[in-house]
Amino acid sequence: MLPVPVELATHPATFWHRLQVLRGLLPLLAVLVIAGSIGWGYSQSGAVVTLTVDGQVEKVRTHRATVGTLWDDIGLTLGPLDRLSHDSSAPLTPGMNVTVQRARHVVIEADGRTQEISTWNETIRDVLAAAHIGVNPYDQLWLDGTPAGLDTILPPVAFRSSSTPHFPLGRSWVGREPVPVALKVRRAVPLTVQDAGTPFTLYTTASTVGEALRAQGIILYLGDAVEPSLGVRVSAGLHVVIQRSRPVVLVADGRTLRTRTRQTTVGDALAEKGIAVAGLDRVTPALSEPLGDNTTVRLTRAREAIEIEQDVVPYDTILAPDDNLEIDRQQVSQPGAEGITNWRYRVLYEDGQRVSKTLEDTWVAQEPMTRVISYGRKIVIRELATSEGTFQYWRKVRMLATSYSASTAGVSPTNPHYGYTRLGLLMRGGIVAVDPRVVNLGSSVYVPGYGSGFVGDTGGAILGRRIDLGYDEDNLINWYRWVDVYLLAPPPPSYQIRYLLPNWPRER
């Protein structure tokens, strides 16, 4: 007896009401129990057969009488080419083994339409024959997206499972359907190709003219022309013309160009490459010559130039006395001019190198002219105020002054000439040594810082503009400096005067 809930016990009216409801449900519960018992008993009755579908093995309990009616129980739809181990009318018996093999499904795309067939054929050739689809050797076949041939064997049947089976679990073939194989036939179309000769026909499945030619192994070069262009789409009966270029070698302007051209003459090939020919330029072969394969065209740049060469004869310079110009002064009485002889040549250059030179004319552009420099012979007497008094002089010469005495003159004391000068005078202060080609012996001079002196001696080292100042032994002063030497009046006769003095040594 079921326990009575507390709330029912505390409310008698509710309790009796609900008790009456439970009593009304008891017949329904009894019916359900009986029906379940009958169903369970039904399911456990019937024949058990072993069913193999595409290699999947299951044991199936069924109340069907024949093999053909079994498929309704297991949710399996068979095609007309699927293979059964028993005829559909064969009676089902306990322990019976029933085998099902479903045919391969092939989806064929050809000639603009798609069809799906079931087949047991193994090769593409047999599948297409079964579908009554003919192919020629140029058509292209694709099996599941991969290029294939007529004798390609189809892959084993693959299956896919549905994600929402409509039959009870435990049926391994439920929702498991064969995956169709995709077979595509791409028809080849004929193209007429004229390749620098007799036209020929090729069949292609390519999309464009360029792809069709490449697939046929036709090599195109940069200089070749194709009409219509390579990017044009292929259509049946299309006529393709290939204008072939030829290899040539162009040598011009210091570079070698290996190229290809469709031009027929040398001149046209040069013009196509933008190489201009002008003037004396020379082309080998000639511009009008026809081109052959690997012809070498050589362009030699040529130009003529007029060149002037000069033969220059330097002018002579002479010195001329001028009795109106003061001594030791010079001036240009007549400027010199070089003699110029011009030679005119016509010169031919090829590729920048001179190859010929022809004399056209020669003329004297300028006769040479001697430059005349006048030197002074005029004697002017001037005065020089010194601490010793005022001296008159007729010439001033810049000279390098040194000093000496009898003992430093380089003569041995045992020499009978020791202590004597060139003029036989006894060596003493006031006697100077000079180069007699500059200052005459016996002349009188004045040297600032030394005083007046008598030119009475010479020396082996006293040459040119040199003067050696004499001293006594006990008061020798060393000199070595440039000074102005004044030649005192009166001047010697003109024939004893050297109007042009040597310019050495030079003062630094």
CATH 3.90.550 is the classification of domain 189-243: no
Give, in order, the Cα–Cα distances in Å from 43 to each of 76, 108, 129, 341: 20, 45, 48, 140
The strand pair at 200-204 and 189-195 is best described as antiparallel
Q: Kindly list the distances between the CA atom of residue 215 and the CA atoms of 14, 195, 244, 268, 410, in Å, as whole numbers in the listed order.
A: 95, 15, 19, 33, 114
Tokens matching residue 229 = 């262009």
DSSP sequence for 190-235: EEEEEESSS-EEEEE--SBHHHHHHHTT----TT-EEES-TTSBP-
pLDDT (average), residues 167-179: 62
- The domain defined by 305-375 folds into Resuscitation-promoting factor rpfb fold (2.20.230)
Q: Are 154 and 127 contacting, i.e. CB atoms less than 8 angstroms apart? A: yes
pLDDT of residue 1: 41
What does the alpha-carbon distance between residue 427 and residue 413 come to, in Å, rounded to a whole number?
A: 13
Tell me the sheet residues that pair with 38. Answer: none
Q: Look up residue 504 and give its amino acid.
A: W
How far is residue 479's CA from residue 404's CA, in Å, rounded to a whole number?
Answer: 9
Of 55, 159, 162, 161, nearest to 104 by C-alpha is 159
What are the sequence ranges of the domains in the chain? 6-42, 47-101, 104-186, 189-243, 246-296, 305-375, 381-496
Residue 29: predicted pLDDT: 56
Per-residue pLDDT of 439-494, as tens digits, reads 999 999 999 999 999 999 999 999 999 999 999 999 999 999 999 999 999 999 99
Residue 47, CB half-sphere, CA atoms under 13 Å: how many?
Answer: 18
Residues 6+ positions from 53 with CB-CB distance below 8 Å: 76, 100, 102, 172, 173
Q: What is the pLDDT of residues 375-414, one digit of tens each?
A: 999 999 999 999 999 999 999 999 999 999 999 999 999 9
b (16+ CB within 10 A) / e for 145-162: eeebeeebebeebeeeee
What letter would DSSP give residue 411?
A: -
pLDDT at 382: 97
Give Cα 48 distance to the centre of its chain. 85
Confidence of residue 495 (pLDDT cuts 50, 70, 90): very high
As a CATH number, domain 381-496 is 2.40.40.10
pLDDT tens digit sequence for 225-280: 899 999 999 988 899 999 889 999 999 999 999 999 999 999 999 999 999 999 89
What mean pLDDT do residues 294-322 have? 95
CB atoms within 10 A of CB 140: 17
Which of these, 196, 205, 194, lies nearest to 236 by C-alpha position? 205
Kindly report the CATH class assigned to 104-186: alpha beta
Do domains 47-101 and 104-186 share one topology? The answer is yes
79-88 contacts, C-beta under 8 A, 24 or more apart: 79/103, 79/118, 80/118, 81/118, 81/119, 81/120, 82/118, 83/120
Which is nearest to 297 in space by CA: 245, 251, 247?
251
Structure tokens at 469: 């100042």
- Strands 104-110 and 97-101 turn out to be unpaired
For residues 148 and 140, what is the distance between their CA atoms, to the nearest angstrom?
8
Residue 61 has pLDDT above 90, yes or no: no
**DSSP H or E stretch at residue 24:** helix 12-43
In the prediction, which pLDDT does 43 show?
Answer: 46
Residue 505: closest CA among 487, 481, 472: 481
Name the β-bridge partners of 454.
431, 444
* 302-331: average pLDDT: 95
Matching CATH number, 47-101, of 3.10.20.90, 3.40.50.2300, 3.30.360.10, 3.90.1150.10: 3.10.20.90
